Amino acid sequence: MGSRTDDVTARVLANPKYHQLVRKRNAISLMFFAVMLVVYAGFILTLAFVPELFARPIGAGFTTSIGVLTATLVAVSAVVMIAAYVQVSNKVFDPLIRAIVEDAT
């Protein structure tokens, strides 16, 4: 059984589609990481260095503060990023994975 597994593993590792998958997945993951880093770091750094900004109301006559709105937008951005990653995974990664498995078996 180990020999067959080793053979399949060797075929997968030798497949150019596998290396394409790894490159694409790394590049896309790094891009998503960078976007979320900017969003979260921007939020945290603003909170740390300009906390009075988050205490202000979003406008005249509003009770909701800029901080509540911003925190909500950060949470919504995470959901949007997850949805985008799932979409990319379904459209880009899954077809490559299917092709790699098909070629290896």
CA distance 12 to 5: 11
Q: What is the pTM of this model?
A: 0.80
Total of domains in the chain: 1
User: What is the tens place of the pLDDT at every residue in 17-70?
Assistant: 999 999 999 999 999 999 999 999 999 999 999 999 999 999 999 999 999 999
pLDDT reading at 4 higher than 80: no
pLDDT reading at 5 higher than 90: no
Q: Which domain holds residue 39?
A: 2-104
> SS3 for 105?
coil
Q: How much is the pLDDT for 1?
A: 52
Average pLDDT of the segment spanning 74-78: 97
Q: How much is the pLDDT for 3?
A: 76
pLDDT reading at 2 higher than 90: no
Q: What is the mean pLDDT of the chain?
A: 94
